Amino acid sequence: MVSLRGLFMQSSGFSGAIHETFLWIEQLEALGLSMNSLAGPVPPGFGIKFQKLLSLDMSLNGFSGAFPTGIVKCLMLQRFEVQGNAFTGELPVGLWSLPVLQVLRTHNNRFFGRLPEFPDGEPRLEQV
C-alpha cells in the first residue's frame, strides 16, 4: 500500500486503533476515516511522512490523547477534520500556520490552550 493515494473508509464499521502501518503510506493525499468506532491514541509518528497529504478526516470516532505533532510536517494539508473525538492537550504548534490550510475542524474534543496569533499575509483559512 505504499503507493496508495486515497483511502476512504467512512462509515465502514471499523473499530480499534490505527495500526502503525498507516505511517508508511507516503504517497497518501487523502485519508477519510470518519464515522467509525476507531479509538485510542493516534500513533506518534502520524503525519511525518505524509508530504503529499491534502485532506485528513478522522471525525466522529473515539480517538483520544494528544494529536501527534508530526501533522505539521504536512505542508500541503488543506483540510484537518478531527471533530467528535476525545482528543486532549493543545493542538500541535504550527498547525494554524500551515501554508495552504483552509479548513480546521476540531470541535467536540477536549483540546485546551490559547488560540495562536494568526500568521500575517493573505488569509487562507475559510472554516475554523
Supply the pLDDT for residue 119.
Answer: 63
- Burial class (CB within 10 angstroms; exposed 0-12, middle 13-18, buried 19+) of 48: middle
Residue range 68-123, pLDDT digits in tens: 999 999 999 999 999 999 999 999 988 988 999 999 999 999 999 887 776 666 66
Supply the pLDDT for residue 20.
Answer: 87
Task: Answer whether residue 2 shows pLDDT above 80.
Answer: no
Of residues 33, 11, 35, 12, the one with CA closest to residue 22: 33
Which cell numbers in the block locate residue 8? 476512504
Supply the pLDDT for residue 118.
Answer: 67
Q: What is the dihedral of CA 109, 115, 120, 123, to 10 degrees?
A: 40
Residue range 3-41, pLDDT digits in tens: 899 999 999 999 999 988 888 889 999 999 999 999 999
Say which CATH architecture domain 6-111 belongs to: Alpha-Beta Horseshoe (3.80)
Q: What is the pTM of this model?
A: 0.91
Please report, for the chain, the start and end positions of each structural domain, with discontinuous segments joined by +.
6-111
Phi, psi of 116 (to 5 degrees): -75, 165
Residues in Cβ contact with 82 at an 8 Å cutoff, skipping those fewer than 6 apart: 56, 58, 59, 63, 67, 105, 106, 109
